[in-house]
Chain A
Amino acid sequence: QVQLQESGPGLVKPSETLSLTCTVSGGSISSYYWSWIRQPPGKGLEWIGYIYYSGSTNYNPSLKSRVTISVDTSKNQFSLKLSSVTAADTAVYYCARTPGAYCGGDCYSLWFDPWGQGTLVTVSS
């Protein structure tokens, strides 16, 4: 079955750019949407954004000005860049496959399954 694995630096300095990659195995990235989600220590889940394998993206409005998600179908990977990070960006970052289904009319609903194991990124000098 499909498995996802996050990779990237575990420590990033304030004001710098956080960069993570998610490698998809056991299936092709060339279908579905693919998402990034984060969870600050002891807190809830926050959707960051998603990308379709064709390259179209959608981001959380609260992070949109700092987020870029890209895809490399040749490597079966997609990536996250978050710029100008602060301590508030310290979190476990998860990648997830994002299946979807129509929910009536032009409504298209997305969910997250499966998830990667997550990687802790700490923002500190």
Chain B
Amino acid sequence: SYELTQPPSVSVSPGQTARITCSGDALPKQYAYWYQQKPGQAPVLVIYKDSERPSGIPERFSGSSSGTTVTLTISGVQAEDEADYYCQSADSSGTYQVFGTGTKVTVL
């Protein structure tokens, strides 16, 4: 089955930049999406179609794509950005949806 791989954790100081990667063989063909999940809450979409930001999401969240890796960048990290982040995409046929393994972002 298709897998999307993320680092388990990323630590960053306030005001610095956090980068979270997501790797998968089908990413050159399929869009990727990013979700933020805080404890006890439902996930919230923060990036769609690789790099677009939904309304209401702060500009410090951005996305990029290069080959088999997509990256979520949080510039000027704030304490409120501490959360789990998941990427999501589809297999090469576009038939099945898959979530990444998840990355816990800790703000030091």
Contacts of B43 in A (CB 8 A): 45, 94, 112, 115
A45 to B54, CA, bound (A): 21
| A107 engages B42 (CB within 8 Å) | no
**Cβ of A113 < 8 Å from any Cβ of B?**
yes
A61 to B93, CA, bound (A): 14
Within A19-43, which residues are at the interface with B (CB < 8 Å)?
35, 37
Please, which residue of chain B has its CB at the minimum distance from the CB of A107? B94
Contacts of A101 in B (CB 8 A): 31, 49
**Cβ of B61 < 8 Å from any Cβ of A?**
no
The interface bits of chain B over 18-52 (1 if a CB of A lies within 8 angstroms of the residue's CB, else 0) are 00000000000111010100000111110011000
Contacts of A109 in B (CB 8 A): 30-31, 49, 89-90, 94
**Cβ of A117 < 8 Å from any Cβ of B?**
yes
| A112 engages B88 (CB within 8 Å) | yes
The answer, among B29, B30, B31, B42, for a CB contact under 8 Å with A118, is B42
**Cβ of A56 < 8 Å from any Cβ of B?**
no
Contacts of B102 in A (CB 8 A): 44-45
**Cβ of A62 < 8 Å from any Cβ of B?**
yes
Contacts of A110 in B (CB 8 A): 90, 97
Number of interface residues, chain B, beta carbon within 8 A: 27
A112 to B87, CA, bound (A): 11
| B1 engages A113 (CB within 8 Å) | no
- Most chain B CB neighbours (cut-off 10 Å) among A44, A45, A47, A60: A45
What is B's interface to A at a CB cutoff of 8 Å? Answer: 1, 29-31, 33, 35, 41-45, 48-49, 54, 86, 88-90, 94-102
Other contacts beyond A47-B88, A60-B97: 15, CB < 8 A:
A35-B97, A44-B100, A44-B101, A44-B102, A45-B99, A47-B97, A47-B99, A103-B49, A103-B94, A107-B29, A108-B94, A111-B88, A112-B35, A115-B43, A116-B42
